[in-house]
Every structure is written in C-alpha cells, then in structure tokens.
Structure 1
Amino acid sequence: MKKKLLSLRLTVITMTLLAFILPAPLTSLAEEEVDYVALGDSLAFGVTPTWDQQSVPDSGYAHLLAHHIDELGELDSFTNQYSYPGYTTENVLNDLQNDVRMPSEDTDDRGIRMAVSDADVITISAGANDVISELSIDSETGQVSYDPESFEAKLGEIGANLANTVTDIRSLNPEADVYVMGYYNPYPYLQAEQQELLNLALDELNRVISQTATATESTFVPTSEAIDRRAMDYLPDPTDIHPNELGYQVLANEFWEEMTLQEPMDFTDVSESSFAAESIDYLTAKKILQGYDGEHFAPGQDVTRAEAILMLDRSIVLSQDQPTESSYSDIDDSMVAYDSIVKLTSEEIMDGFLDNTFRPDDSLTRGQMAKILVNAFDMEPVETTGTFTDVTDSYWASPYIETLAANEVAAGYEDGSYKPGKTVTRQELAAFIERSMNLN
C-alpha cells in the first residue's frame, strides 16, 4: 500500500512539474526544434590540451551547448564540421563564399551555404588566430611585443571579415540568430608586467568583435571575465591556449546566457510593473520555464525543491557525462525531475537530507535557495558576516546568504532580516536565477 501511495504521489508531482516547466506545444516540429551550426576556429572545433588528434573532439563549447539544447528537447540538428583548428576570420569568410564541403566533397552532400541557410542558431568564434599571428612572445622571457601599425591593420581586417561573413549569412538566412564570441586571455601564466600589453591587445580585439556584432545585428558573447576568474583552472597547460572541458563549460554558459529560443511568453497574472517581469521574460525566452496553461504563471505560488532543481538544470550548461542513478529513497525515475536531481546532486549543487531523502515536494526555503544558487553559478565566496539580523555566523547557510547578498542577487527585508526559513515563490526564484545567470 505504501508503494502505491508513493507512486501516486510521484505521479502528481510529475504532472505538476510538466505543467510548470516544460514548454507548451507549438504548431509544428519545425517551430519547436533548433538547427545549430557552429563556425570558427579550434574553440568551435573543441580542441583541448589533451586532445588526441586521431579522434574528433566532442566536448567543446559548441558540443556542450548543443547537448544542453537537446536536453531541453529543442535540438533538431547540430554541426561544427565547418570549424577547424587554426582558422582565421578570412578562412571562415572564404569557406562561406566558396561553399566549402567538409570534411570532403564525397562526405558532405549539402555544403556550408545550405547548412547556414537551414540554421536557426549560428555561433562564430574567429579572430584570435588573426591576432596571434601579430604577437611575438619570447619563449625564454615571456616578453610580449607587436607592431602597433600592423596590429591596427589586422584589427581592421578582422572587423571587415566578420562583417562580410555575417552579411553573407543574413543574405542566405535573414531569420537566423547569430552569436559572435569575444575572446579570453590565453596566456594567464605570463608575468604580470607582460599581461598589461597582452590585455590591451585583447581588449582591442574584443572591441572590434563587439562593434561588428552590433553593426550586423548579431549578439556579442563576452568570455574574458568569466575565464579570468579561474584562468589557471580552465587553462591548465601553460603551453596550450585551449581550455579543458571545465573551461568549455564556462564558454558554453556565456553563450547560453545570451541565447533565446523563442519569444517571451505573455501571462495574464504577471504585470509589466512586477519586479520579476523581465526575469520571467528572460527565462521563458530560453524555454527554461512556462506557465501552467500558457496564460497563467501563478507568480506567488511556492516553488518545490523538485521544481527548483529542474529550473536550475535547464539554466546551466554542465558536462555531458553524468550519472544516471540516485540512491534517494523518495524519488523515482518516472519523475520529470529525476535526471536533474541525479545530475545536480552529483555535481554537489544541491543536497538531499541525512535520512537519504530528497523531499522533492517540500517547498524551497530562502536558505536552501542561497546555497544552490551560489553552487550552481560558482559565485566567489565573500568574507562578509552579520549582514542580516536573523542569520548568525554559525547558521549553516550563512556563507551562501552573504555571498548572494554581496552579488545583489537577493536582498533582505526592511527590518534587516533575511528570513532564511521563508519559502520561495515562483516569481522570486525566476528573478534570482535570472540575476545569477547575468552576474558577469
């Protein structure tokens, strides 16, 4: 009898989650699913410091981003076959203009122009190899130098090549969403005195890419700050400019923060003046969540732990390799949130309880919310204490609450309290997740 009651309970939870999170059905499969084409250099190709050149990489930012969209149930096709290590902006443009077929004429029956014509989402990472050719780095001293006049001319070429590339893409496919990546410092191991000149060159490159993206109505994707936070963790080999998979996750998340998959949803119970209105628009445009019936969002309703973990899973790009089984006694693989619970608990983003339960239908508290957001978005811990009158230094969630407050993701109340045991509503969690996604 207990098993039957548990099964019925889980079924009710699953149906509720399906209504809350999953996108409403659209009129055709073509409207639902995304064709994604990644163009560019070794970063689009997915090269890592440990890459075996006899194999094809499968954990670059484009692979991770495609996998994430696929997990949302929104991916129709993905290819990065037109990206290649060492590619410059000129290479990308020439391939597009010449309708190249890769890896060969025999194996590619449509060519790059048709792939671009059919795409809904196109990402481009190109420009770093152009600039690297202008830099001189002494292998013994680490001294960085370049000719200012030649470098300025190269920047002009980069801007022109990228502009012509996107213009050609627009002529083939005016409806595609185009995202152009900015670059990070690939030499974090150089001495501090060499970093100033290197960062100046990097800033100029990113300025040109950003301006070109704006001029061509594309979206610029910054990556420098995100990688700089833990550059030596993401770029572990001083002799290699490519990130490891953890670094590629960072790049993929920077793309995901900028990306939209549909127009925001309009809800009759969310006013334009609501503090969470823009956050709800942001998340529904990514198909991270939806309303109950396509018209109502129920903004004041409490969020359960299962709903929260499912929203977080859809909000962040993680590794493709994840466990598939959980030991929690109160969850079942028929639950819509099952995979998310397994994944995010294994990543130590969210915890269960000491009695080996997860308690998926318990309401999420503000204390719990602080911990999962800090963990999910890898926020830097702070030394601050005593910000709130009801959060002592010894309270288990105090470090997370202080970090969340320092990052201006969640504030307290007018009386100086945080109310860590108070439950979190749907509109509150939407706002907190959106703010966390856009911290950089």
Structure 2
Amino acid sequence: MKKYWIAAMAGFLLFSGTASAQAELKVPAAYIAIGDSLAAGQTPEREIDAGYTDMIAQELSRNQPVGFYSKNLAFPGFTTADVLDSIQSDEAKEMLASANLITVSAGANDLLRLVQGDPAQGSLTFQQIQADFALNEARKNMELILAELTELSPNADVYVMGYYFAYPHVRDSQKSGTAKQLDRLNEILERSAEKAGATFVSVDQSFGDDAVDKVPNAADVHPNAAGYQAMANAFFGEYQKTWTVEDFELPPPNPLTFEQIMEAQEQEGDGGQEEEESEAEETALRPSAGSPTGYLALREALPYL
C-alpha cells in the first residue's frame, strides 16, 4: 500500500507534457489542495480514491512542470471552521508557504449537516433559520480562510471551488428548497473569492439537478469518477481553457476504506527505526509521500462532504 501511494504521487509529479507558453502559469507548479472530502477524493461508497484534486495534479503534470502536489490538508467532514483551524497549524503553514496554486473546497458541510434526507421516500427537510445561520458562519469563515491564505501563501493563485446539487435522487418537488440554499452558498463563495482576489470555480452547471450519473448513491452525496472529472474540468475552464481531463485519462479505481487508511498510518507510525535507517532516501521524497494515504491525519468518516 505504501508503495502504491508513493508511486501514485510520483506519477503526479512527473513532467509528461510541454509547458504552456502563457505568462500566467507559474512554473513549476506547487499545488496544495485544502478542504473537505471532495478535496480528499471520497467516493459514493465512503472510501478514498482519486478525486478532482488528483485529476488536476495529473493534468497539470501533462502540460507543465509540477514541483509539488499535496492533499494533506483535505479531511472528510471538515466545515469552514475546521479548514480555518487546519491551515493555522505549523505543519500547514510550512507547506502553504511554498504553494503557488491552491484549491479550496469548504462550506457544504456547514449547510448539509442540517439537511435531513430520506432516500426511501425521496424527501429532504431542513430548518431555514438554521440554514441562514450556517451560511452566515460559512461566509465569515471563508473570508478568514482566504485572508489567511493571502498571508501564508503570498505567491499562490487561489481557486475557490463551488458545489453541485448533491441530491439528484430525491423527488423533483423536494429539490428546489435545498437547491436554493446551495445556490446561496455558491453566491457566498463567489463573493468571498472576488473580495479576496481569488477565482471562483462554478461546478453546478456541469451537474444540474438530475446528475444521477455523477452522484450515483441515493444515500450518499459524493460524486463518482465522472463527477470528479467534471469538477476538475470546471477548474481548468478557469485555469487553462484548452486543458481537459479526458475519459481515457481517468486514473484506474483503487479505493481505500477508512479502516485501511488508519491501519496503514498506524503501521507507518511503527516504522520509526526503518525510517531512520533510510533517512537519506526519505529526504528525496515530497512531504505528501511521507504517509501511504497522502494525509497528515483522517478524522472519523462523516456522512457529509
């Protein structure tokens, strides 16, 4: 498992294309993905696999030199408050200082944890007052996150990822209320990005309200590979319009359960003596290759983004 993750990361870092001649590209790219489980690559089966951030890193490596890629700061279940806390750690500050490209997925968990869904009945319910409060908190925290990134990553171009409608399986009569709240969230994220000089990436048009082909599990809000591909391509629509993640370029499925990830991390923690013996070799690895999962930590799996 360790070999897979190191090999996968090395594959993302290989320069396999020609660099774009456009002046706005920063070469080599040092890409950090932060946020919730969409940034982490959680699947509809609540496993971790290649998500939109991995696809972005892979496509970057096909078109320009990539010096660094990490999704160590992406955690399932994170709210905007959690993301703000995570980027203020010493480890995060050191990593973000070298970044010149950052994507942020944060905000949906502030809202979706308030939505009660019944897959059998195809229904959704939430309290409007609670939703209003959650969205206001998301706005304040996102502004703080982007202000913090301006300080921590002064050379980075920051892209704030929008959200799709996560409940395509419910009855049509049940969609409009929750969809309206997600539209409000996207508006907040877009305004916050503009205020901070960041770029907002809209993904909802790629999904619409009926994207059962991209969100296949009626009991889970996470996308499949096609959904993550759509998100990655929405990013490239803002970053480099001629770059696209094609179907034949999708990484082969290789999901890990949360139990496998935690077990691998525990085994990694027990290998201190072996790591000391190979210290010279380890210095050649990127920080994201330091654990078999590419994470600094993983919290308990949550049924949100």
TM-score strictly above 0.5: yes
The answer on whether the counterparts of 1:34 and 1:75 sit within 8 Å (CA) in structure 2 is: yes
Structure 2: which amino acid aligns with 1:38? A
- Structural mapping, 1:20-419, within 5 Å: 23=20, 32-50=27-45, 52=47, 56-57=48-49, 59-99=50-90, 111-228=91-208, 231-259=211-239, 315-318=243-246, 319-321=249-251
Cα 1:186–1:77 change in 2 (3 A) is: same
Task: Give the whole-Å Cα distance in 1 for the aligned partners of 2:185 and 2:164.
Answer: 10
Task: Give the whole-Å Cα distance in 1 for the aligned partners of 2:128 and 2:65.
Answer: 46
Secondary structure in structure 2 of the residue aligned to 1:82: strand
Structure 2: which amino acid aligns with 1:68? E
Cα 1:235–1:123 change in 2 (3 A) is: same
Q: CA deviation at 1:140?
A: 4.5
| 1:304 matched residue in structure 2 | none
Q: CA deviation at 1:74?
A: 2.4
| 1:380 matched residue in structure 2 | none
Secondary structure in structure 1 of the residue aligned to 2:73: coil
Cα 1:50–1:148 change in 2 (3 A) is: closer
Q: CA deviation at 1:137?
A: 2.4
Q: CA deviation at 1:239?
A: 1.5
Task: Give the whole-Å Cα distance in 1 for the aligned partners of 2:123 and 2:29.
Answer: 45
Deviations 1:343-394 (A, max 9, x none): xxxxxxxxxxxxxxxxxxxxxxxxxxxxxxxxxxxxxxxxxxxxxxxxxxxx
Secondary structure in structure 1 of the residue aligned to 2:30: strand
Task: Give the whole-Å Cα distance in 1 for the aligned partners of 2:172 and 2:26.
Answer: 50
Task: Give the whole-Å Cα distance in 1 for the aligned partners of 2:220 and 2:105.
Answer: 18
Q: TM-score, normalised by structure 2?
A: 0.71
Cα 1:97–1:31 change in 2 (3 A) is: closer
Unaligned 5+ runs, structure 1: 1-20, 100-110, 261-282, 284-313, 323-440
Structure (1 or 2) with the larger CA radius of gyration: 1
The answer on whether the counterparts of 1:117 and 1:169 sit within 8 Å (CA) in structure 2 is: no
Q: TM-score, normalised by structure 1?
A: 0.50
Q: CA deviation at 1:321?
A: 4.1
Structure 1: which amino acid aligns with 2:37? S
Secondary structure in structure 2 of the residue aligned to 1:97: coil
Structure 1: which amino acid aligns with 2:168? P
Cα 1:23–1:129 change in 2 (3 A) is: closer
Task: Give the whole-Å Cα distance in 2 for the aligned partners of 1:78 and 1:206.
Answer: 26
Task: Give the whole-Å Cα distance in 1 for the aligned partners of 2:146 and 2:22.
Answer: 32
Deviations 1:186-215 (A, max 9, x none): 110000100111111111111111111111
Cα 1:227–1:139 change in 2 (3 A) is: closer
Secondary structure in structure 2 of the residue aligned to 1:179: strand
Deviations 1:274-324 (A, max 9, x none): xxxxxxxxx6xxxxxxxxxxxxxxxxxxxxxxxxxxxxxx621133448xx
Specify which structure has the bigger relative contact order, considering alpha-carbon pairs within 8 angstroms and separated by 6 or more residues: 2
Structure 2: which amino acid aligns with 1:93? L
| 1:413 matched residue in structure 2 | none
Task: Give the whole-Å Cα distance in 2 for the aligned partners of 1:162 and 1:180.
Answer: 9
Among all aligned residue pairs of Structure 1 and Structure 2, give the percentage whose two residues are the same amino acid: 31
The structure that is strand-richer by fraction is 2
Cα 1:163–1:73 change in 2 (3 A) is: same
Secondary structure in structure 1 of the residue aligned to 2:87: helix
Cα 1:229–1:68 change in 2 (3 A) is: farther
Deviations 1:110-130 (A, max 9, x none): x11111111010000111111
